Amino acid sequence: MLEQGEEVRACIMDALSEANGTFAFHLLKMLCQDSPSRNVFYSPVSISSALAMVFLGAKGNTAAQMAQVLSLNTEKDIHQSFQLLLTEVNKPGTQYLLRTANRLFGEKTCEFLSTFKESCLQFYHAELEQLSFAKAAEQSRKHINTWVSKKTEGKIQDLLPDSSIDAQTRLVLVNAIYFKGRWNEQFNKMYTSEMPFKINQKEQRPVQMMFQEATFKLAYIEEVQAQVLEVPYVGEELSMLILLPDDNVDLSSVEKHLTYEKFRAWTKPDCMKSTEVEVFLPRFKLEEDYDMESVLQRLGMVDAFQGDKADFSAMSAERDLCLSKFVHKSVVEVNEEGTEAAAASAVVVVECCMVSGPRFCADHPFLFFIRHNAANSILFCGRFSAP
């Protein structure tokens, strides 16, 4: 039995998990549409955490559009929900490494409202560090990039590209996330061998394919003609979920049908059966970076990027603030031992064969998700299309 306090907490977390999950899949569809044959990898939690800090400072239409894009129910205590999620994600004493970090870097001549600064600290553990963008833009950019690199164990370098910071920059909000976990059942390196990976019906490339035969949770989704496999990390608090369409089914048709509600239904414990499976999974490493401005605007977050429409009056008394950039960078490495992944987001605010049992052979494009089972949150989303 859940105690009353725990029940309330679970209810608050569920609402945010649903919002973050819906946002994650909207984003996945858009990024997959933009590059149908490319690999995709990003952290929805990193992006939504950074945006939630911006949301703290938004009012009017700007806030309404942000809430709609992030699928947030504004009647719920959104920021308390993020506080609970980040506490769960960063909890100590786990058998894996998972950390998130948030920080505000503000122009020292700009007055930020104390309510905004206090809320960022209270809910997102994000302190405001003052820098001189006006006099030392390049130095400030390098300083922020160094902070991100440190928080992601050196995996995310140069988050903010050249010229992304200038004298007009007033505030940079940054989120970084780092994860390293070992598989509950590791793949034996002796069994890894070169195999062809079918990019499409005509083209294939070699990959280093890992192999193991063990008991995993597996389901077959008739609706989209795809298998879903859960590969847990040590401790089983986190898992990788792999959605693999049948050999003759195009991944794009699976993507088209995919929603957060369906994903949750397909991966429910009672839908996935523990099965002895022969698993073939490529060893891979992806590094992706995205300019999120156009993606967010296409999702409906328009006013925040327009100087004459943006309303960030809950952030600062300065009336001419708007967003100029939103960058997101992510890396993931999957090998025999486990997975290492990192991502960072920055928002820049400016002035204007025959087998005995089932076989799961990921030798053609698939989707994968790293899920925090306790927090019921998708930390990372990806599509592996080509080696």
The partner residues of 233 in beta bridges, in order of sequence, read: 183
Give the chain's residues under pLDDT 70: 1-12, 75-76, 348-357
pLDDT score of 3: 53
pLDDT score of 65: 94
Extract the tokens encoding 191: 């069994």
pLDDT score of 7: 66
pLDDT score of 355: 40
pLDDT score of 152: 85
Buried b (16+ CB within 10 A) or exposed e, 3-12: eeeeeebeeb
Domain residue extents for the chain: 4-181+285-351, 184-284+354-384
pLDDT score of 2: 45
Architecture of domain 184-284+354-384: Roll (2.30)
Superfamily of domain 4-181+285-351: Antithrombin, subunit I, domain 2 (3.30.497.10)
* Number of CB atoms found within 10 A of residue 201's CB: 10
pLDDT score of 169: 81
